[in-house]
Amino acid sequence: MIKLTPDKGIPRHILLMMAALGAFTVANLYYNQPLLDLICRETGITQVQANLITVITQTGYALGLLFVIPLADMISARRIIVTAMTIAAVSAIAIACADSAWMLWGASLTLGISSIMPQLFIPMATLYSRQENKSRNMGFVASGIMIGIVSARAVSGFVGEWLGWRSMFFIVSALMVAGLVVTLAMMPQVSLSFHGTYRGLMRTVGQIFVSHPRIRLYSLRPAMGFASMLAIWSCMAFHLAQSPFYAGSDAVGLLGLCGVIGAIAASGVGKYVPKVGILRMSVIGGSLQLLAWATAWMYGDSYAGLITAIMLADIGAQCQQISNQSGCLRQLPEATNRVNTIFMTILFVGGSLGTFCAAIGWSHAGWTGVCLVGACFASASLLLSCYERLSYHD
């Protein structure tokens, strides 16, 4: 078994493994979005209840980030991943067999909690890479995760249309079993940075949050951008089901492929962070998202408009997340998993909030309401950049 040492480098095949497993596991959070209309029709639940499936899955992920990820500073990451993938496989089967909103919500919660593996990989890519490669390698793994986020919709859209939404979650379970085999074969051994009790470990997470204002800022700003990006997807299935599209889940899947293109286009963001700077990269990301929502509002009744908006929103989110996450992890390299816990918990609370608010916007004002919600979150991220400029920037 390979043993990694801080700042000494990571073999390319390990980076590829982390990017691939990160993509497959984070996708668990988003498979349900193109399938919501199909789930409504087959189970008889309402659109609001269906939207809660996505919110609960992301909330579960946030809970896993908060209470599970810090353990990687204290016990073997390999052990955490094996346990999580086993639970994820069982949860996916439970969703596939569910016939009520409560069953869907409960299994979605545990699927979200157990899909936290990608956020074990990003601190590893940062901590164990050579100094000159840290941002680049972190961006490489993060881009794999982003590709998983956006491609999940494409895959589930097609599977849902041709095989049914339940088949998608049986496939998810099989993928988790395959990931478990890869983990057992390839996962390297890493050093531990905390020795003590779980209670003591969680206390240090709170202490880091309170005593490091830059970590709070670097976490909250991309959370607003992530909320903006997810808002465009939360009601896409319902938007496409109406005039002038009258399209099924496979159309949502095709749009998901455009998100993959956006993620690939942004895959080199990491290497530019040291040159451009965190603040400027964040402003670029927030501005791209505002442009995305203007496009979605003016041209949201055409596929060309939606494709443009999706790509701009995804690239904007990538610019914000990679730059701010690298800044967070540099604050305390001796506690990367705990710092990443703070960053990713806030990020996915923001994502859940964006999804929830978009659902409210949809129920009150249709697509215009969704566009307003997304633009508000993008504006919030830009306001935080203004705050940094006034308060911290040298």
172, 276, 296: which is closest to 229 by C-alpha? 296
pLDDT digits 0-9 by tens, 15-73: 899 999 999 999 999 899 888 888 988 888 887 888 889 889 988 988 998 899 999 88
Instruction: Give the model's pLDDT for residue 298.
Output: 94
Tokens of 165: 């939404």
Cα–chain-centroid distance for residue 81? Answer: 17
Residues 157-167: pLDDT tens digits?
889 888 999 99
Place of tokens 């967070």: 328
pLDDT of 339 above 80: yes
User: CB-based contacts of 276: which residues, under 8 Å, 6+ apart?
Assistant: 284, 323
Of 58-72, 99-113, 262-276, 328-342, which has the strongest mean pLDDT? 99-113
Tokens of 171: 């496939």
pLDDT tens per residue across span 69-87:
999 888 888 899 999 999 9
Burial (CB < 10 A; 0-12, 13-18, 19+), residue 360, is: middle
Residue 10 pLDDT class (50, 70, 90 cuts): confident
* Cβ neighbours of residue 291 closer than 8 Å, sequence gap 6 or more: 312
The rounded distance, in Å, linking the Cα atoms of 62 and 84 is 14
Please count the other Cβ atoms lying within 10 Å of the Cβ belonging to residue 189: 11
Q: Do 172 and 92 meet the contact criterion of CB atoms below 8 Å apart?
A: yes
- Compute the distance between CA of residue 308 and CA of residue 147 in angstroms, rounded to an integer: 17
Non-local (6+) Cβ contacts of 148 within 8 A are 22, 23, 24, 25, 26, 27, 118
d(CA 47, CA 137): 40
DSSP structure string for 40-52: HHHH---HHHHHH
Query: Is the separation of the CB atoms in 126 and 329 below 8 Å?
Result: yes
> Which domains, from first to last, does the chain contain?
12-188+208-391 (1.20.1250.20)
Highest mean pLDDT among 6-10, 332-336, 380-384: 380-384
- Arithmetic mean of pLDDT over the chain: 87
pLDDT for 12 equals 86
**Token pair 């779980």: residue:** 198
Identify which of 367, 228, 235, 365 has the alpha carbon closest to the alpha carbon of residue 301. Answer: 367
